[in-house]
Structure 1
Amino acid sequence: MDIYLVGGAVRDTLLGLAVKDHDWVVVGATPGQLEQEGYQRVGADFPVYLHPSSKEEYALARTERKSGHGYTGFEVQFSPDVTLEDDLLRRDLTINAMAQANDGTLIDPYHGKADLDARLLRHVSPAFREDPLRVLRVARFAARFDHLGFSVAGDTQALMCDMVQEGELGYLVPERIWQEMSRALMEPNPEVFFQVLRACGALKVVFPALDALFGIPQPMRWHPEVDTGIHTLKALQIAVQMDAPLDVRVATLSHDLGKALTEPTNWPSHRGHEDLGADLIRQHASDWRWPKKAAALAEHTARYHTHCHRIRELRPATIVKTLNKLGAFRQSDHFRQFLQACECDARGRSGLEQQPYPQAALFERCLAACGSVLPADLAAQGYQGAELGEALNRERVRAVAQEKATWSD
């Protein structure tokens, strides 16, 4: 048997990037041979094995033939007769279709090195169109390598547009869309992921609520960039600069979805977009299988982000009510992630990217003031049951009022 290093490890080595995972292809072997040598099979649909000591993945060379719709509609064929070139031909991009022999020789039948040097993301063969998930993968690689000057090749862009028009992306299941989107959100330039999808029409299929924001105007006084979609992606860039976790990036991406649902005759004003967006997120997150924590933070951010922006104007009772709604007295991490997403929104505006956001600290001070009110002290005064809850809320409001009195204009 012959063993080759393939895929991302070869690509990243040539780019001078750190290699995270090593994937290997085995040519000229059978499953029985690998199992006899102690390899552990982990692939259910095709033979992928873990090395007995390194635990890295080794896959038998294989070919694929389209047999249905979507990313699962394939018949996989593997045998000792499948060549390395056959295996590389089924891959998505030329820069991912290179291999390296044990002696370091580069095997590059589809000119991945040339595309790497030209900074192009190009499909390997027309078989690209058989797997709709590849449209999202190309967009994700664009988000990963944008800072290195990569772009989508024109012929690949055209092919992706054709795939969208043919309706193939409609066969993707929500879980796989979330998987690709969540990975893309953690790339250096996640906004590029959504720009690439929008350019080929895929964003309207996989995230229609976000696609609808482009072209929606906002008041220039508050949003010099005007376009809501552009603002959303600028806010996402701020989230990257802040090294925000995934849930914050999802919340930032979703915070203004309600602006596409407000009455057009009132534009560029969007009164009520907060609740409209939060209700939309609740439904979208359910339909598209978002994790519960990410969905909860996104919904809360959409509903209450303007409360945070206007904290100086809010009555103490409204502040305490909002803290309760955000679960701040029970989940401080959730509350702080909410504040982070609000800051991304505030700074995700043209010319205001470096603007301070003191509202987050003020909200934190309100929470701290509420923390000075101890239920045990009130219980010692004889409050019980519902009366204890009322007294706790009343004293928290009083504490917030005292805190606000210390704020300077």
Structure 2
Amino acid sequence: MQIYLVGGAVRDMLLGLPVNDSDYVVVGASAEQMLEKGYQQVGKSFPVFLHPKTSDEYALARTERKQGKGYTGFVCDFGPEIPLETDLKRRDLTINAIAQDASGNIIDPYNGRQDLEKRLLRHVSPAFAEDPLRVLRVARFAARFAHLGFSIADETMLLMSEMASSGELESLTAERIYKEMEKALTSQSPQVFFETLRQCGALSIIFPELDALFGIPAPAHWHPEIDTGIHSLMVLEQAALISTDIEVRFAALCHDFGKALTPQNEWPSHHGHDERGIIPVKALCNRLKVPNPVQDLARLACRWHIQCHKQAELSDEQLLNLLDQCDVWRKPQRFEQLLDVCQSDIRGRTGHEQDDYPQKAILLNYLHHLQQIPVSEIVKAGYKGAQIKEQLTLQRLGKLSELRG
């Protein structure tokens, strides 16, 4: 029995990056032998075992045969006779098909180290095309390693394009799509994930609400980049510099969905896109089963980002309504996240990447002062029921008028 460290752990080690998870392949062993040694089996369709002390994953070397449609239509063969090279060949990218033995020797039958040096994401074999999820995985790796200078090999991009046009991507479940997107959103360059999907033709299939923004013009005075799709990815890029929160990054991506619904005769103006955008944001979130906190901020950002930008032009009543609609009294932290999205929106424009966003400090200052108004004093004064809310509103409006001069 021989044990090899494989996959991401070897890749990240060779790149000089922190190794967070260690996966192992076991060659020359049977499931019965693993159980006898105290390993706990966790996989049924193929044998994966947890180490009795470290809980690291150990999988028996295996092959995969495509027998059905989609990413679940595989039959696995495993046994002590399957060599390491055969197991590595079924992996997605050459940089993920490198192994290390117990003595520290590197086993690299598909030139993964060479592609690491070239900063290339290249598929291992034609079997790559059998699993549509790999289109999203490669896009995610492109986002994760973009800051290191990685790009996708031409032949791999061509294969991804063929997979996108084959209809196989439609077999992906909402859960798997969201999981890949979520991982991409945590990366240093999340916009690259969506750029890659658009380049291979997958964006229109998986994220049609975002894809629809490309080719939609905006006023050059406000948006030198013109194209709303490009602007949306620029906003996501800025959001990644401002916040590590997935909620903020996803909301940044979705904030202008309404512009795809603007009648063409009104271009490049997009009056009312904030309200129109709620429908496509909900459609995307419902289809991908986006967690409630993530989709809540996306809807808020879509609906209210314009009013946050124009807070100085709002009346006291309109400003208080903005705060009420954003539920700032119960969720002040989410309002801060919304303002991070708004700041990203302002900076996500060609030539405006360093712009200040004073609205954030101003609105948070207003909120701070309004939070100090004690409801207990209103109750103590004898007001009851709906009168309490009326008096609280009056006091908040009075405070806003005072703060705004």
Deviates more, 1:234-243 or 1:149-158: 234-243
What is the CA-CA distance between 1:134 and the residue it aligns to? 0.1
1:230 maps to a residue whose letter is I
2:15 maps to a residue whose letter is L
* Structure 1 segment 354-373 matched on structure 2, within 5 A: 354-373=354-373
What is the CA-CA distance between 1:160 and the residue it aligns to? 0.6
TM-score between both structures, scaled by the size of structure 2: 0.98
* Alignment check: 8 A CA contact 2:25 2:58 kept: yes
* Alignment check: 8 A CA contact 2:66 2:75 kept: yes
The answer to whether 1:253 aligns with 2:215 is: no
Matching residue of 2:288: 288
Number of residue pairs the alignment of both structures matches:
405
The answer to whether 1:231 aligns with 2:227 is: no
Q: Output one character per residue of 1:126-151: Cα deviation in whole Å (capped at 9) or x when no partner.
A: 11011000000001111111122111
Matching residue of 2:375: 375
Q: Output one character per residue of 1:281-304: Cα deviation in whole Å (capped at 9) or x when no partner.
A: 122211221011000000000000
The answer to whether 1:200 aligns with 2:191 is: no
2:338 maps to a residue whose letter is F
Matching residue of 1:128: 128
Q: Output one character per residue of 1:92-140: Cα deviation in whole Å (capped at 9) or x when no partner.
A: 0011011111111111111111211211111111110110000000011
1:224 maps to a residue whose letter is P
The answer to whether 1:263 aligns with 2:263 is: yes
What is the CA-CA distance between 1:231 and the residue it aligns to? 1.0
TM-score between both structures, scaled by the size of structure 1: 0.97
1:56 maps to a residue whose letter is D
* Alignment check: 8 A CA contact 1:279 1:299 kept: no
How far, CA to CA, are the matches of 1:248 and 1:40 in structure 2? 39
* Alignment check: 8 A CA contact 1:194 1:203 kept: yes
Matching residue of 2:43: 43
Secondary structure of 2:386's aligned partner = helix
Matching residue of 1:104: 104
How far, CA to CA, are the matches of 2:287 and 2:14 in structure 1? 41
Matching residue of 2:347: 347
Matching residue of 2:178: 178
How far, CA to CA, are the matches of 1:18 and 1:368 in structure 2? 40
* Alignment check: 8 A CA contact 2:121 2:142 kept: yes
1:81 maps to a residue whose letter is E
How far, CA to CA, are the matches of 2:295 and 2:274 in structure 1? 15
* Alignment check: 8 A CA contact 1:97 1:108 kept: yes
* Structure 1 segment 212-231 matched on structure 2, within 5 A: 212-231=212-231
How far, CA to CA, are the matches of 2:175 and 2:316 in structure 1? 42
Matching residue of 1:113: 113
What is the CA-CA distance between 1:230 and the residue it aligns to? 1.1
How far, CA to CA, are the matches of 1:152 and 1:108 in structure 2? 20
Secondary structure of 2:327's aligned partner = coil
What is the CA-CA distance between 1:44 and the residue it aligns to? 3.5
* Alignment check: 8 A CA contact 2:243 2:340 kept: no
Q: Output one character per residue of 1:269-321: Cα deviation in whole Å (capped at 9) or x when no partner.
A: 00110011122212221122101100000000000001110011111111111
Q: Output one character per residue of 1:320-367: Cα deviation in whole Å (capped at 9) or x when no partner.
A: 111111110001111111111111111111111111101011111221
How far, CA to CA, are the matches of 2:192 and 2:43 in structure 1? 32
How far, CA to CA, are the matches of 2:260 and 2:5 in structure 1? 48
How far, CA to CA, are the matches of 1:164 and 1:135 in structure 2? 8
How far, CA to CA, are the matches of 1:99 and 1:47 in structure 2? 19
1:237 maps to a residue whose letter is E
How far, CA to CA, are the matches of 2:47 and 2:396 in structure 1? 61
How far, CA to CA, are the matches of 1:62 and 1:320 in structure 2? 62
1:73 maps to a residue whose letter is G
* Structure 1 segment 77-88 matched on structure 2, within 5 A: 77-88=77-88
Matching residue of 1:52: 52
How far, CA to CA, are the matches of 1:333 and 1:34 in structure 2? 49
How far, CA to CA, are the matches of 2:309 and 2:400 in structure 1? 17
Deviates more, 1:247-256 or 1:271-280: 271-280
Matching residue of 1:165: 165
How far, CA to CA, are the matches of 1:322 and 1:232 in structure 2? 23
Secondary structure of 2:313's aligned partner = coil
The answer to whether 1:311 aligns with 2:311 is: yes
What is the CA-CA distance between 1:387 and the residue it aligns to? 1.5
What is the CA-CA distance between 1:40 and the residue it aligns to? 1.5
Please tell me the root mean square deviation across aligned C-alpha atoms, in Å. 1.0
What is the CA-CA distance between 1:168 and the residue it aligns to? 0.5
Matching residue of 2:143: 143
What is the CA-CA distance between 1:390 and the residue it aligns to? 1.4
Structure 1 unpaired stretches of 5+: none
The answer to whether 1:5 aligns with 2:5 is: yes
Secondary structure of 1:213's aligned partner = coil
How far, CA to CA, are the matches of 2:148 and 2:388 in structure 1? 59
How far, CA to CA, are the matches of 2:275 and 2:80 in structure 1? 59
What is the CA-CA distance between 1:264 and the residue it aligns to? 1.0
Matching residue of 2:301: 301
* Alignment check: 8 A CA contact 2:217 2:268 kept: yes
Secondary structure of 2:253's aligned partner = helix
* Alignment check: 8 A CA contact 2:243 2:249 kept: no
What is the CA-CA distance between 1:43 and the residue it aligns to? 2.1
